[in-house]
Amino acid sequence: MILRLLVVLALAAFAAGACAPANAALPTQIGIRIHYSHFDATKIEVPMGVPVTFTLVNDDPIDHEWLIGDEAFHARHRNGTEAVHGDRPNEVSLPPFTTKTTTLTFDKPGVLTFICHFPQHEAYGMVGVVIVRP
Ligand SMILES: [Cu+2]
């Protein structure tokens, strides 16, 4: 009987721990600066289920873009013909010397990639990952 009670208490403690917001310490305000055709942050951890605001700074005298999504999304954009993005929070066009903000809420855990799909920019290294933590 006592053993059973201890098991129940242990399970209750485990459940309480599992429900604690493990991702609460992760930032919801992210700054990414582009300079010499590179992102200055290429591995970013964010919490799932809450709005995350990205401030994107293009410090270069040329156009860039910040497109975030999964592999299928990027496969479409690598072959895409859309020169300018503007209406979707996960697709941001960045003219020279501009700053833009965009807010996204990630609804599932996992790894997403952000890439600039201007010709040769991905190959040059304009790639980063966002890790969404539950
Ligand atoms: Cu670029």
pLDDT one-digit tens code per residue, 13-38: 444 455 556 788 899 999 999 999 99
Over residues 70-94, the mean pLDDT reads 84
- Distance between CA 42 and CA 117 in Å, rounded? 15
pLDDT at residue 23, as a whole number? 80
pLDDT for 91-128, tens place per residue? 999 999 999 999 999 999 999 999 999 999 999 999 99
pLDDT for 48-60, tens place per residue? 999 999 999 999 9
More confident residue, 8 or 73: 73
- Distance between CA 128 and CA 5 in Å, rounded? 49
Helix (H, G, I), strand (E, B) or coil at 64: strand
The β-bridge relationship of strands 110-115 and 64-69 is antiparallel
Q: Tell me the CA–centroid distance for residue 130 and ligand 1, in Å.
A: 18
Q: Tell me the CA–centroid distance for residue 25 and ligand 1, in Å.
A: 31
In the predicted structure, residue 81 carries a pLDDT above the cut 70: no
Token duo for residue 90:
């996960």
In whole numbers, what is the pLDDT of the chain averaged over residues?
86
| The CATH number of domain 25-133 is 3.40.50.300 | no
Q: Tell me the CA–centroid distance for residue 64 and ligand 1, in Å.
A: 4
Show me where the domains of the chain are located.
25-133
